[in-house]
């Protein structure tokens, strides 16, 4: 999307990366609190709510861009587990033993809510990384058997195979949203970018990234 926006508007976009939620210096909230400057943030609604509570977001500037279900992936070439039901999903995790995931919104849900609800917390080994790219790198290196995180972080990644989304009754569908930082010196340019990212031209890139459109 960015090359098209830059060509259309002449506005140069510089991106930085951070986790929507979690602990450590790499979360978006931690980076902003440490003095990192930005005009726009794009993150999960849960993470955005934390920034809004800190009065870091320009009121009424938030726009939902896409939705991403939680999905499961395995190292390329490994047998694909059955995750079509809650029981088969639980069995696959227990059999896999080593599971990797980012410690952001999805990891918080999995470790604090889903695994205890399924009663498998003591039957699996979970490695939590700061970022999704780190967990998929571990999976691609065959140092874990399963990764669970937003589908957008699992499709089109070399070395891993995307198995599919979690069953509906245990699914966490994250909405990823854009918002403008309260004291951004480039608010007009920021508004143009948010409008572009939420325009009909974003539909195909959103689908190709393993996400769904916001209805």
Q: Residue 145 corresponds to which tokens in the numbers above?
A: 């058997």
Q: What per-residue confidence (pLDDT) applies to 41? A: 98
* Per-residue pLDDT reduced to its tens digit, 87-144: 999 999 999 989 999 988 999 999 999 999 999 999 999 999 988 899 999 999 999 9
Please, which pLDDT band fits residue 66 given cuts at 50, 70 and 90? very high
Fold equal for 2-67+175-213 and 70-170: yes
Q: What per-residue confidence (pLDDT) applies to 54? A: 95
Domain coordinates in residue numbering, the chain: 2-67+175-213, 70-170
Q: What per-residue confidence (pLDDT) applies to 96? A: 94
- Name every residue whose Cβ is closer than 8 Å to that of residue 23 and which is 6 or more positions away in sequence: 103
Is the CATH code 1.10.287.610 the one for domain 70-170?
no
Sheet of 98-102: strands edge to edge? 125-129, 98-102, 146-150, 70-75, 160-165
CATH, domain range 2-67+175-213:
3.40.190.10
């Amino acid at each position: 999307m960015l090359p098209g926006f830059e060509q259309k508007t002449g506005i140069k976009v510089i991106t930085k990366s951070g986790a929507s939620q979690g602990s450590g210096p790499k979360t978006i909230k931690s980076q902003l609190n440490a003095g990192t400057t930005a005009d726009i943030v794009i993150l999960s609604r849960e993470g955005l709510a934390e920034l809004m509570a800190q009065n870091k977001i320009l009121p009424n500037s938030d726009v939902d861009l896409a939705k991403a279900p939680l999905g499961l992936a395995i190292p390329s070439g490994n047998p694909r587990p059955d995750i079509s039901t809650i029981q088969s999903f639980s069995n696959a995790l227990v059999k896999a033993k080593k599971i990797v995931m980012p410690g952001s919104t999805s990891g918080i849900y999995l470790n604090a809510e889903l695994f205890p609800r399924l009663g498998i917390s003591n039957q699996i080994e979970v490695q939590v990384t700061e970022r999704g790219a780190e967990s998929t790198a571990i999976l691609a290196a065959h140092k874990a058997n399963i990764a669970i995180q937003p589908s957008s972080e699992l499709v089109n990644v070399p070395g891993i195979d995307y198995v599919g989304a979690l069953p509906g009754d245990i699914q966490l569908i994250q909405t990823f949203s854009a918002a403008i930082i309260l004291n951004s010196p480039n608010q007009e340019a920021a508004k143009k970018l948010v409008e572009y990212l939420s325009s009909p031209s974003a539909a195909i890139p959103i689908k190709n990234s393993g996400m769904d459109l916001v209805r």
